Amino acid sequence: MKGKVLGDLGLHMAADDNVVTAIVDAEAGATLPYEGTTVELPDDVQFGHKIALVPLEPGDDVLKYGEVIGQATETVAPGEWVHTHNMESKRGRGDIAAQAEAN
């Protein structure tokens, strides 16, 4: 497996990534070490889903595989679940083009 497992629960695929992928069904209260700090999960995070390692603000890039996979749409605290409710794609966005045209 590429990357490093943090706290037996989160796969950090590349050094620059600001999220990890849960490799177990992680429970609220679980912790993982990151850069000398401890990141605690406020909620359960399902296997395969992402957990923030650092605070994110709307518009901040989300990095996995060492690459940009989208941007935050909400403020996200370290340990929080990162998914469609607080981040979105930056590509294939015909909706944005259509909105710009309408304005």
Partner 1 sequence: MPTFEGYPRADGPPGVRNYVAVIPTSVATSPIADEIAAQTGENVRSTPHQMGSDPPAAAREQIERTLVGVGTNPNVGAALVVGLGTERIAAADIAEGIADAERTVETLTLREEGGTVATVDAGAALASDLWDEISDRSRVECDASELRFGVECGGSDATSGIASNPGVGAACDRLVEDGGTATFSETPEFIGAEHILADRCVDEEVRERLLDRVDLREATAELMGVDLRGAQPSPGNQEGGLTTIEEKSLGAISKGGTTPVRGIVDYAEELPVGGGLVLMDTPGYDVESVVGKVAGGAQVIAFTTGRGSTTGNPLAPVIKVTGNPKTAERLANNMDVDASTVIEGESLESVGDRIYEKLLSVASGERTAAEQRRLEEFAINELQPNELEKLRGGV
Transcribe 19-72 into DSSP letters. EEEESS-BPTT-EEEETTEEEE-SS-B-TT-EEESS-B-TTPEEEETTEEEEEE
Is residue 4 near partner 1 by the rule CB under 8 A?
Answer: no
Q: Give the residue with the Cβ less far from partner 1, 37 or 99.
A: 99
Exposed (0-12), middle (13-18) or buried (19+): which is 33, by Cβ within 10 Å?
A: exposed
Interface with partner 1, residue 16, by CB under 8 A: no
Smallest distance from partner 1 to CB 44, Å? 13
Figure out which of the listed residues 31, 44, 60, 69 binds partner 1, where binding follows CB under 8 A. Answer: 69
Cβ 36 to partner 1 shortest distance, Å: 26
Member of 37, 38, 46, 75 binding partner 1 (CB under 8 A): 46
Candidates 15, 59, 95, 103; binder of partner 1 (CB under 8 A) is 95
Rounded-to-integer distance, Cα 79 and Cα 50, Å: 9
